């Protein structure tokens, strides 16, 4: 007789493990199926985010940022360091330690909350049964009143640049380099490409970023995107737009790869020691749905769901990267909580208009809500306030004053429609505005709020004041 659960979750990434824990907290008998294993064959929780995504990449970004500061930016503080060296092996060891600590922490939370871990690959069958195929090939089936699919995503591969071990890699491979490549190519100028390019650029690699689109960071407010491109170029990233990769050639003897691409000048060729392919991610939905399970997908592999992440099959839900919307760990986690609470009978919902996005370069880029371009296209009547970090005392004191805060509000109601930041601690500053938008705040509400001095958050305060021409620490375009 098969095991029976109130909830079975397929996938233990940010959407899955959070859904499982919340369901168990609500008194539901819960199991979570995960196929990811470590090198020693043990189940590893946390999915892409904790194992080969958000967490390890941020560990490398933090390590290399500290090195770059010590090597190039401490002298202005009166700190002179000679003969500074960087140990890639130690950097990678630190990354692995952090990953191990966090993934182990999830295992502990599963145990504490009574979540049953089922190691293996999960597949949804008809009637809310879940088939679990273990690593040794053995198959078992569990039954559930409710199933949550949280299988995550995988990197997109492109035919012109097939992966070649040690030379042409995806984002996962780029986290495992054992030495700094002298010359590094990056296909894709998105979030992942810029973050990984920054890691190795800081350590001395000559980085060329090849992007097929003619615009830089098209999803980001373009005033911020233009500032970002200027800053990243100054840092040493060679960003080439309107460059479509048509092929690659591996020189096995030299251990190099030549990238062939087309731009406005015709065919171009560039040779690199390493090439990272990061042109996006796709839902990991292959082989997880039986033909008769009742769940349908679109042509790209995304599972159809409603606003509450319910599929067309009764009692079956899907969250995170396998469904519509941005592929973000925090979006997946909150969907997981929402679904668990709805299964338990609560009236939970998500505000998809208040999901922040972040790029962890330096300076960071973060945003929430609508861009100016989106509002123009929609014919919305809006107003804008911009405040530079160069006019912020705390940023100047930290020698970290590049960038700005841009606040956008409705011209008639003053309700905040979006906020876009490039600068120090942009991710954390943006979260202040996420909270404000969640409660329907106006720019005036933030302007009337007392902010500590000196803080970086004063730039948010001043940008909100600038929306209505009331900024104190810069000249206003309009006085009201």
Q: Model confidence over 259-290: pLDDT tens digits? A: 999 999 999 999 999 999 999 999 999 999 99
So what's the pLDDT on residue 40? 75
**CA 122 to each of CA 44, 108, 138, 296: distance values in angstroms, whole numbers, following the listed order:** 15, 22, 12, 17
How confident is residue 43, by pLDDT bands cut at 50, 70 and 90?
confident
How confident is residue 91, by pLDDT bands cut at 50, 70 and 90?
very high
- Reading the block at residue 243, the tokens are 């460059």
**Number of other CB atoms surrounding residue 112 within 10 Å:** 10
Mean of pLDDT values over 94-108: 97
So what's the pLDDT on residue 1? 56
So what's the pLDDT on residue 479? 52
Question: Are 382 and 409 contacting, i.e. CB atoms less than 8 angstroms apart?
Answer: yes
Q: Crossing angle, helix 329-343 and helix 14-25, to 10 degrees? A: 30
Q: What is the residue-averaged pLDDT of the chain?
A: 97
pTM of the model: 0.96
Calculate what percentage of the chain has a pLDDT beyond 70.
99
Residue 303, SS3?
Answer: strand
Mean of pLDDT values over 341-364: 97
120-176 pLDDT, tens digit per residue, is 999 999 999 999 999 999 999 999 999 999 999 999 999 999 999 999 999 999 999
Q: Tokens 């491109």, residue?
A: 229
Q: What does the alpha-carbon distance between residue 255 and residue 253 come to, in Å, rounded to a whole number?
A: 6
Q: What does the alpha-carbon distance between residue 5 and residue 21 come to, in Å, rounded to a whole number?
A: 14
Helices (H), 114-174: none
Backbone angles phi, psi at 248, to 5 degrees: -140, 150
Which residues fall within 8 angstroms of residue 228, CB to CB, at 6 or more apart?
Answer: 216, 217, 220, 359, 361, 365, 422
Residue 230, SS3?
Answer: helix
Query: Which member of 362, 410, 453, 473 is catalytic?
Result: 453
- Which own/partner pairs from 255-258 qualify as long-range (CB within 8 Å, at least 24 positions apart)? 255/166, 255/167, 256/167, 257/164, 257/167, 257/168, 257/185
Burial of 393 (0-12, 13-18, 19+ CB in 10 A): middle
Peptide linkage before 330 cis (omega within 30 of 0): no
Helices (H), 53-190: 54-68, 88-113
Q: What does the alpha-carbon distance between residue 151 and residue 12 come to, in Å, rounded to a whole number?
A: 8
Question: Are 55 and 49 contacting, i.e. CB atoms less than 8 angstroms apart?
Answer: yes
Q: What does the alpha-carbon distance between residue 172 and residue 205 come to, in Å, rounded to a whole number?
A: 18
**CA 242 to each of CA 260, 365, 410: distance values in angstroms, whole numbers, following the listed order:** 13, 22, 34
Burial of 351 (0-12, 13-18, 19+ CB in 10 A): exposed
Mean of pLDDT values over 246-250: 98
Q: What does the alpha-carbon distance between residue 79 and residue 70 come to, in Å, rounded to a whole number?
A: 9
Residue among 366, 353, 363, 341 nearest 429 (CA): 366
214-225 pLDDT, tens digit per residue, is 999 999 999 999
DSSP string covering 330-352: HHHHHHHHHHHHHHTT------G
Question: Are 423 and 389 contacting, i.e. CB atoms less than 8 angstroms apart?
Answer: yes
Q: Which of the 8 DSSP states describes residue 27?
A: T
The gap from C-alpha 338 to its chain's centroid, in whole angstroms, comes to 20
Which residues fall within 8 angstroms of residue 49, CB to CB, at 6 or more apart?
Answer: 13, 14, 55, 329
Question: Are 106 and 45 contacting, i.e. CB atoms less than 8 angstroms apart?
Answer: yes
Q: How many Cα atoms are found within 13 Å in the side-chain-facing hemisphere of 350?
A: 24
Catalytic annotation present for 453: yes
Q: Go through the domains of the chain in sequence order and give each one's CATH number.
A: 4-155+282-350 (3.50.50.60), 168-279 (3.50.50.60), 354-467 (3.30.390.30)
**Number of other CB atoms surrounding residue 133 within 10 Å:** 16
How confident is residue 39, by pLDDT bands cut at 50, 70 and 90?
confident
Backbone angles phi, psi at 375, to 5 degrees: -70, -40
H or E element in which residue 397 lies: helix 393-397
Question: Are 406 and 399 contacting, i.e. CB atoms less than 8 angstroms apart?
Answer: no
Helices (H), 144-242: 191-202, 222-235
Q: What does the alpha-carbon distance between residue 453 and residue 346 come to, in Å, rounded to a whole number?
A: 41
407-459 pLDDT, tens digit per residue, is 999 999 999 999 999 999 999 999 999 999 999 999 999 999 999 999 999 99
The radius of gyration of the chain from alpha carbons, rounded to an integer in Å, stands at 24
């Amino acid at each position: 007789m098969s095991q029976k659960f109130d909830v079975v979750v397929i996938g233990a990434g940010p959407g899955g493990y959070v859904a499982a824990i919340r369901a168990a907290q609500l008194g539901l008998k819960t199991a979570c199926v995960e196929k990811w294993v470590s090198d020693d064959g043990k189940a590893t929780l946390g999915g892409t985010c904790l194992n080969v995504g958000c967490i390890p990449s941020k560990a490398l970004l933090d390590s290399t940022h500290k090195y770059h500061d010590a090597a190039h930016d401490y002298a202005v503080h009166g700190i002179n360091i000679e003969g500074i060296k960087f140990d890639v092996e130690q950097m990678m060891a630190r990354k692995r330690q952090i990953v191990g600590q966090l993934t182990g922490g999830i295992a502990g939370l599963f145990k504490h909350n009574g979540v049953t871990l089922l190691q293996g690959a999960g597949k949804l069958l008809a009637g809310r049964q879940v088939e679990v195929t273990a690593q040794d090939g053995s198959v078992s089936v569990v039954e559930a009143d409710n199933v949550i699919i949280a299988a995550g995503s995988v990197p997109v591969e492109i035919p012109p640049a097939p992966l070649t071990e040690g030379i042409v890699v995806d984002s996962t491979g780029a986290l495992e380099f054992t030495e700094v490549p002298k010359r590094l190519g990056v296909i894709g100028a998105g979030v992942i490409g810029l973050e990984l390019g920054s890691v190795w650029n800081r350590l001395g690699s000559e980085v060329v970023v090849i992007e097929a689109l003619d615009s830089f960071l098209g999803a980001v407010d373009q005033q911020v995107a233009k500032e970002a491109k200027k800053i990243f170029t100054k840092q040493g990233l060679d960003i080439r737009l309107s460059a479509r990769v048509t092929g690659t050639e591996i020189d096995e003897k030299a251990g190099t790869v030549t990238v062939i691409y087309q731009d406005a000048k015709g065919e171009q060729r560039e040779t690199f020691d390493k090439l990272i392919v990061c042109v996006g991610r796709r839902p990991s939905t292959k082989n997880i749905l039986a033909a008769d399970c009742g769940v349908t997908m679109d042509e790209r592999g995304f599972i159809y769901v409603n606003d509450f992440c319910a599929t067309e099959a009764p009692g079956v839900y899907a969250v995170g990267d396998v469904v519509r919307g941005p592929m973000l760990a925090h979006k997946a986690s909150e969907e997981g909580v929402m679904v668990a609470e709805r299964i338990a009978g609560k009236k939970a919902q998500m505000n998809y208009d208040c999901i922040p996005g972040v790029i962890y370069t330096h300076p960071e880029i973060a945003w929430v809500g609508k861009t100016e371009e989106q509002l123009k296209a929609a014919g919305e009547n809006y107003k804008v306030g911009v405040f530079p970090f160069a006019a912020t005392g705390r940023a100047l004191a930290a020698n970290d004053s590049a960038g700005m805060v841009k606040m956008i509000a409705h011209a008639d109601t003053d309700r905040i429609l979006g906020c876009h930041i490039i600068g120090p601690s942009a991710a954390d500053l943006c979260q202040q505005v996420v909270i404000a938008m969640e409660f329907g705040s106006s720019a005036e509400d933030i302007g009337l709020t007392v902010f500590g001095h000196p803080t970086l958050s004063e730039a948010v305060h001043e940008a909100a004041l600038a929306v209505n021409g009331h900024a104190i620490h810069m000249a206003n375009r309009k006085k009201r």
